[in-house]
Amino acid sequence: MRVKVSRKAHFNAAHRLYNSEWSFEKNEDVFGLCNNPNFHGHNYELIVSVTGNIDPKTGYVIDMKVLKDLIKSEVENAFDHKNLNIEVPEFKKLNPTAENIAVVIWNKLRPHIAEVNDLEIVLYETPRNFVTFSG
């Protein structure tokens, strides 16, 4: 029997959406206000879900304390109160869109989750805009 368990977290971060190969005008056309050269910020809401079989000895799919600590060490410590474009190595050459942030988070967490379990990332950039990535 497979069960999905989830943990919510949040972080605040600034970013700028732009493509360095394009002119300022093309970046403005594509990214609008998100292309602000002085950056802008979001209060990101994150839901990390692990799906797997319940361990008959513990009753857990994954120990929630382990998941909490993993999110803290791999995501919150790396992203919270940071300028993603400048301070987070993964975004030095990768546009920090919500889609790319979700994939980066998945890649940071996946090595720490048992291979038999599925991992899903849901990232809310605003209360109405969110992305989901499952690998």
Active-site hit among 28, 81, 90, 112: 81
Please confirm, yes or no, whether 99 is among the known catalytic residues: no
Q: Is 76 a catalytic residue?
A: no
Active site residue 120: no
- CA distance linking residue 36 with residue 9, whole number of Å: 27
**Other beta carbons less than 10 A from residue 120's beta carbon:** 17
Strands 130-133 and 82-83: unpaired
3-state DSSP call for residue 129? coil
Of 16, 18, 14, 42, nearest in space to 29 by CA: 18
Report which DSSP code applies to 38.
Answer: T
Pick the catalytic residue: 45, 99, 120, 125? Answer: 125
Which of these is catalytic: 34, 40, 74, 112? Answer: 34
CA dihedral (12, 78, 17, 50) positive or negative: negative
Active site residues: 34, 81, 125
